[in-house]
Amino acid sequence: MSETFDFTLDGATVTAQSGETIMQAADRAGIYIPRLCAHKELHPFGACRICTVLVNGRPQSSCTQPAAPGIVVENDTEALRNVRKSLVEMLFVEGNHYCMFCEKSGLCELQALGYRFGLLAPRYPYQFPKREMDASHPDIFVDRNRCVQCARCVRASRELDHKTVFEFSGRGAHKAIAVNADARLADTDVNGTDRAIDVCPVGCLLRKRYGFRTPIGQRKYDHQPIGSDIEAGHPPAAVNG
Amino acid sequence: MSAQGAAHIKAICKAAGNDPARLMDIAIAVQKQLGAVSDTAIDLIATHLKIPRVDVDSLVTFYAFFSKTPKGRVIIRLCNDVVDQMNGAAEVAAALETELGIRFGETSPDGAISLEYAPCIGLSDQAPAALINDVPVTHLDSGKARHLAQLLKREGTQARLVKTFGDGNNAHDLIRSMVVNNIRETGPVILAPYTSGSGLKKALALSPAEVIRDIKTSRLRGRGGAGFPTGMKWDFTRQAGGDQRFIICNADEGEPGTFKDRVLMTECPDLIFEGMTIAGYAVGAAEGIFYLRAEYAYLEKFLTAILTQRRKAGQLGQTICGKAGFHFDIRLQMGAGAYVCGEETALISSCEGRRGDPKNRPPFPAQKGYKGCPTSVNNAETLCCVARILECGPGWFAAMGTKGSAGTKLLSISGDCARPGVYEVPFGVKVSDLLKKVGADHTAAIQVGGPSGRMIGPKEFNRIICYDDLSTGGSFILFNKGRNVVDIARQFMDFFVEESCGYCTPCRVGNVLLRNKLVEILAGHGALEDLAYLEELGRTTKLASRCGLGQTSPNPVLSTLENFRPAYEALFKKSRGHEPVLANFDLQAALSQGSILAGRASSIFTPVNGSQP
Ligand SMILES: Cc1cc2nc3c(=O)[nH]c(=O)nc-3n(C[C@H](O)[C@H](O)[C@H](O)COP(=O)(O)O)c2cc1C
Ligand code: SF4
């Protein structure tokens, strides 16, 4: 039996178990903290910063920050909603996201966050970067235009598939997902059934021949905003539907 | 790759024990030996170390000094830092390009010479400066640049470049550099005479807990920028469990306009190493790592020799100074061109043979640092203070400076002034007094603490230098009236865009957006509402970024907006009140393509007979 303690989240008392992060405790309490790179089955990474909360007034990513007795956490405030929306906008303008014909539309967590925050058009100018695609693999398609650098594939390949198919190369604005081969995904030991492919929150890693099996309009986030399962008290095992 | 190249790589890996944690050293050696760490080289290294090739690729593509494609046998890295620009780096660049017949970013067709820019190489006090492979050349102008290019073309090597040496140890047989120290003011603590071993002997007469107590009593705080109390950091490191602990000396000194550690390493290496040894004793570490930035590689041989000398003198190694049970040694870790590696957790990643991504905190390095063990990362200057505190006593140290800021501080002064260089001053000095000291009579703006610090104007010149008022890692870049502060902010943002590790969204994207907006404004395409855009974007980037880089990188923009707003406003055209579009919008330019296609001018928007619609 692990130890429990209380802290305050937007004025409500939340009970956490020792070792839990703020996000984990909030999830169990049915309070949604928006997130993108965090994934239930993977070690926290802290890259997207969308889950930023104020802990005793200091910004912290709630996916990595341990809950502690008596801390005062601010989550759903006007200011933080604006910061999060702004981060989602940065991700939209940084890549090339063509939602209208993207196979992930309706299942995409970036798009769903955009909807949840009421994003109509980003306040920042589109950067229109030139990004690499890779269709070499018989079962998997890589489109870096839609990558949000969440490292879910990097982590899942190591933590769940026990391989090292993906890692980042380059730094700063030149950082991109690289594969464990000279250039082509087909030359790695990745498999169409690897979890690394499922966990992609956007349309960067796609399975071939699955496109549009669930028609647009009948997909997870076509029906309910992202986070509503947590708010309904049912944190999902895996986020992708 | 040739069989010979493959053999080199095999030997290099073997010499490093085929240890993945030594991947930095391996990549540095391969780059040096073969002029590139090519894809084939990456494959071979991965095979020898038995690690995924993508892990090697990830490291190689992170650091600026590695290149997958072959570079010239001589690489000229011209510093294009703000101070270098102010001192004519553009003319130097033009002269180099003309004389070598290649542009920046290119390599000569015969593979002899590559021309590149580098961010601050720690020589702002003798700008413009460049590195020719490892060799610094200073005080360049277009004439010297032409001469330099001719010599390199003729000889194909930097070996006989330097004819006269700088002062002090710059002339030492193992350095032989034209760099000068520019020590303008010595002080009682750091730039003072020191007998090697004196602080260490006193420390070893105490228990480790007593040493930590003395450092606490001295009220020493970190000199690397963050100002964390050193005694407390050591205490945490000592208290953390496990049987292995580490001391790391941060000599990455990447903050543009900072060069005091360069002088410390040249003139007081014993003091630094002694501070490290005392730190090792205090926290219970057996190993220390000295992380040296690649730009200071010209000091590597010298520092290595000092370490050897200290081993011979019994000041490093087993049973140090006869103290039973105290074993401690120091290894040198070279960097490879990444400002972010000055951030302590990124520095640890780099020491572990990985890309220089900062780590998530908690755990803090004092709990889980290098190889997962408790680690204390200290700045080189902090460690110099440590040795002196043990020698002369905590009370002696605490009596200097101000109430909250004990001791003295090394300042790196550069920019518009008569006497740039290093000054050791007690905490509590007023900025205006400092300006007099350095011979700066027409200062309009000062960048305090480097790009990550703030730009202040005359109304803050009465502030005092200490942790509680104007806190700084020690860099002061001075600007006279007439310097374009908006363009300076833009140059600093260029630096952060280059140096962001790219791990987190706000820093990776936010800095690019900030920089791009400044470029737009400087080109005359800004509008008044852009100022609010910059402020909000800057605040968001600071608030949401994961490490100190992104948490401070918008400062050049935010502090110039705060203190030099008129400089921005002057870049906006005045609206005449009744125009259909924003004053800065160039309507005719926007219409020009359409006019060409239509074969006629706009009948609505193009003025006829000079009349505006
Ligand atoms: C982007 C960045 C760069 C840094 N660069 C340096 C550096 O070059 N040297 C340094 O001592 N500290 C640097 N720091 C601060 C270190 O993280 C750390 O606080 C310091 O080395 C601790 O030593 P101290 O307590 O002796 O100051 C940097 C921090 C950041 C965020
Ligand atoms: S703020 Fe984020 S992207 Fe920037 S250097 Fe730190 S971790 Fe990397």
| CATH class (in words) of the domain with range B408-480 | alpha beta
Residue B604 burial (C-beta neighbours within 10 Å; 0-12, 13-18, 19+): exposed
Taking only the tens place, the pLDDT of each residue in A13-40 is: 999 999 999 999 999 999 999 999 999 9
* CB contact residues (below 8 A), chain A span 23-52, against chain B: 44-50, 52
The answer on pLDDT for B597 being more than 80 is: yes
What confidence score (pLDDT) does residue A239 get?
A: 41
Q: CATH no. for residue A27?
A: 3.10.20.740
Q: Do B61 and A61 touch (CB under 8 A)?
A: no
Tokens of residue A199, six digits: 């966990």
Quote the domain boundaries for residue A121: 84-223
The answer on pLDDT for A182 being more than 80 is: yes
Taking only the tens place, the pLDDT of each residue in B375-404 is: 999 999 999 999 999 999 999 999 999 999
**Domain check: are A15 and A113 in the same one?**
no
Annotate A107-160 with DSSP letters as a single string. T-HHHHHHHHTT-SS-SSPP------EE--SSSEEEEGGG-----HHHHHHHHT
**Domain check: are A24 and A97 in the same one?**
no
Q: Which of these ranges, A100-114, B359-373, B375-389, B577-591, has the smallest mean pLDDT? A: B577-591
The answer on pLDDT for B268 being more than 70 is: yes
**Domain check: are A144 and A127 in the same one?**
yes
User: Minimum-distance ligand to the CA of B361?
Assistant: 2
- pLDDT bucket at B602, cuts 50 / 70 / 90: confident
Taking only the tens place, the pLDDT of each residue in A38-96 is: 999 999 999 999 999 999 999 999 999 999 999 999 999 999 999 999 999 999 999 99
**Domain check: are A13 and A31 in the same one?**
yes
Task: Work out how many domains chain A is built from and give that number.
Answer: 2
Q: Do A167 and B58 touch (CB under 8 A)?
A: yes
* Cβ-based contacts of B543 with chain A (< 8 Å): 52, 59, 83
> Would the CB of B258 count as within 6 Å of ligand 1?
no
- For a mutational test of ligand 2's pocket, the pick from B252, B340, B349, B354, i.e. the residue with the most ligand atoms closer than 8 A to its C-beta, is B340
Give me the mean pLDDT over the B62-89 stretch: 96
Give me the mean pLDDT over the B578-586 stretch: 62
The helix or strand, by DSSP H or E, that contains position B185, with its residue range, turns out to be strand B183-185
Contact A110/B at CB under 8 A: no
Q: Write the DSSP symbol of residue B574.
A: P
* CB contact residues (below 8 A), chain B span 546-565, against chain A: 546
Distance (Å) of CA B137 to CA B108, B126, B128, B180, B599: 21, 9, 9, 11, 57
Give me the mean pLDDT over the B582-606 stretch: 82
Query: Which long-range contacts link B152-157 to residues 24+ away (Cβ below 8 Å)?
Result: B152/B74, B152/B76, B152/B112, B152/B113, B153/B99, B153/B100, B153/B112, B153/B113, B156/B73, B156/B74, B156/B112, B157/B73, B157/B74
What confidence score (pLDDT) does residue A235 get?
A: 64
- Span between the terminal Cα atoms of chain A, in Å: 33
**A182 to chain B: closest CA residue:** B39
Contact B500/A at CB under 8 A: yes
Q: Do B502 and A175 touch (CB under 8 A)?
A: yes
Out of A44, A83, A91, whose CB is closest to B543? A83
CA A116-A119-A124 angle, 5° bins: 140
What confidence score (pLDDT) does residue B613 get?
A: 42
Give me the mean pLDDT over the B346-372 stretch: 97
Query: Percent of chain A beyond pLDDT 90?
Result: 93
Report if residue A27 sits inside a domain: yes
CA B312-B314-B315 angle, 5° bins: 110
Q: What type of residue is A173?
A: A
**B513 to chain A: closest CA residue:** A124
The answer on pLDDT for B148 being more than 80 is: yes
Query: Percent of chain B beyond pLDDT 90?
Result: 91
Taking only the tens place, the pLDDT of each residue in B440-459 is: 999 999 999 999 999 999 99
What confidence score (pLDDT) does residue B605 get?
A: 78
The answer on pLDDT for B573 being more than 80 is: no
Q: Do A59 and B543 touch (CB under 8 A)?
A: yes
Q: Do A169 and B61 touch (CB under 8 A)?
A: yes
Report if residue A230 sits inside a domain: no
Kindly state the greatest CA–CA separation across chain A: 53
Report if residue A233 sits inside a domain: no
CB atoms within 10 A of CB B568: 22
> Which residues have CB under 8 Å from B596's CB, separation 6+?
none
Q: Write the DSSP symbol of residue B466.
A: S
Distance B544 CA to ligand 2 centre (A): 10
Reference A84, options A108, A56, A119; nearest CA is: A119
**Domain check: are A67 and A117 in the same one?**
no
ipTM over the 0.90 cut-off: yes
What confidence score (pLDDT) does residue B583 get?
A: 62
Euclidean distance between CA atoms B128 and B151, whole angstroms:
19
> Would the CB of B236 count as within 6 Å of ligand 1?
no
What confidence score (pLDDT) does residue B572 get?
A: 86
What confidence score (pLDDT) does residue A241 get?
A: 33
The answer on pLDDT for B134 being more than 70 is: yes
Q: How would CATH label the architecture of B192-397?
A: 3-Layer(aba) Sandwich (3.40)
Query: Which long-range contacts link B322-326 to residues 24+ away (Cβ below 8 Å)?
Result: B323/B204, B323/B281, B326/B204, B326/B281
Report if residue A241 sits inside a domain: no
Q: Whose CA is nearest to atom 8 of ligand 2?
A: B501
> Which residues have CB under 8 Å from A160's CB, separation 6+?
A41, A42, A195, A196, A199
Taking only the tens place, the pLDDT of each residue in A116-150 is: 999 999 999 999 999 999 999 999 999 999 999 99
Distance B560 CA to ligand 2 centre (A): 22
**Domain check: are A206 and A99 in the same one?**
yes
Euclidean distance between CA atoms B449 and B400, whole angstroms:
22
Reference A48, options A80, A87, A94, A83; nearest CA is: A87
Give me the mean pLDDT over the B21-47 stretch: 97
Out of A90, A123, A180, whose CB is closest to B54? A180
* Cβ-based contacts of B499 with chain A (< 8 Å): 172
> Which residues have CB under 8 Å from B47's CB, separation 6+?
none
Euclidean distance between CA atoms B1 and B43, whole angstroms:
11
The answer to whether A167 touches B58, Cβ cutoff 8 Å, is yes
Report if residue A234 sits inside a domain: no
Euclidean distance between CA atoms B307 and B332, whole angstroms:
9
Helices (H), B419-529: 431-438, 485-499, 505-520
> Would the CB of B547 count as within 6 Å of ligand 2?
yes
Fold classified for B74-163 = Glutaredoxin (3.40.30)
Taking only the tens place, the pLDDT of each residue in A57-69 is: 999 999 999 999 9
Contact B532/A at CB under 8 A: no
SS3 A49: coil
> Would the CB of B369 count as within 6 Å of ligand 1?
no
Q: CATH no. for residue A216?
A: 3.30.70.20
**Domain check: are A175 and A98 in the same one?**
yes
**A67 to chain B: closest CA residue:** B362
The answer on pLDDT for B230 being more than 60 is: yes
What confidence score (pLDDT) does residue B127 get?
A: 96
Give me the mean pLDDT over the B400-416 stretch: 97
Helices (H), A47-117: 78-94, 109-116
User: Minimum-distance ligand to the CA of B384?
Assistant: 1
Which CATH number does B485-569 carry?
1.20.1440.230
Distance (Å) of CA A131 to CA A87, A104, A174, B249, B408: 20, 18, 10, 39, 51
The answer on pLDDT for A238 being more than 50 is: no
Contact A169/B at CB under 8 A: yes
Which is the closest atom of ligand 1 to the Cα of B551? 31
Out of B55, B61, B505, whose CB is closest to A49? B505
> Would the CB of B356 count as within 6 Å of ligand 1?
no
**Domain check: are A185 and A103 in the same one?**
yes
**Domain check: are A99 and A218 in the same one?**
yes
**Domain check: are A63 and A157 in the same one?**
no
Query: How high is the mean pLDDT of chain B?
Result: 95
Query: Which long-range contacts link B523-528 to residues 24+ away (Cβ below 8 Å)?
Result: B524/B571, B524/B573, B524/B584, B525/B584, B525/B585, B525/B586, B526/B568, B526/B571, B526/B572, B526/B584, B527/B572, B527/B582, B527/B583, B527/B584, B528/B569, B528/B572
**Domain check: are A135 and A210 in the same one?**
yes
The domain ranges of chain B are: 3-60, 74-163, 192-397, 408-480, 485-569, 578-613
The answer on pLDDT for A161 being more than 90 is: yes
| Whole-model pTM over 0.90 | yes
The answer on pLDDT for B30 being more than 90 is: yes
Euclidean distance between CA atoms B544 and B551, whole angstroms:
8
The answer on pLDDT for B322 being more than 80 is: yes
**Domain check: are A112 and A200 in the same one?**
yes
Query: Which long-range contacts link A79-84 to residues 24+ away (Cβ below 8 Å)?
Result: A80/A52, A80/A53, A80/A54, A81/A117, A82/B540, A83/A52, A83/B540, A83/B543, A83/B544, A84/A34, A84/A50, A84/A52, A84/A113, A84/A117
Query: How high is the mean pLDDT of chain A?
Result: 95
- pLDDT bucket at B26, cuts 50 / 70 / 90: very high
What confidence score (pLDDT) does residue B575 get?
A: 65
- Among A76, A97, A113, the domain boundary falls at A76
Report if residue A171 sits inside a domain: yes
Q: Do A167 and B57 touch (CB under 8 A)?
A: yes
The answer on pLDDT for B270 being more than 50 is: yes
Q: Do B58 and A59 touch (CB under 8 A)?
A: no
**B496 to chain A: closest CA residue:** A172
